[in-house]
Structure 1
Amino acid sequence: MATTNPATPAPAATTTAKRKPVFIKVNQLKPGSSGHTLTVKVVSAKIVLNKGRSASSMSLNPRPTRIAECVIGDETGTIIFTARNEQIDLMKPETTVILRNAKIDMFKGSMRLAVDKWGRVEVTEPASFQVKEDNNLSLVEYELVNVADE
Structure 2
Amino acid sequence: MAREVIVELHRNSSQCEKVVGEIVKIERKLFPKHESLARSFDEELKKKNSGLLYMHHGGGGGGEVIGYVMYSWPTSLCASITKLAVKEDYRRQGHGEALLKAAIEKCRTRKVHRVSLHVDPMRTAAVSLYKKLGFQVDDLVQGYYSPERDAYRMYLDFDSD
- TM-score, length of structure 1 as denominator length: 0.24
Greater relative contact order structure (CA < 8 Å, 6+ sep): 1
Higher helix share: 2
Greater CA radius of gyration, 1 or 2? 1
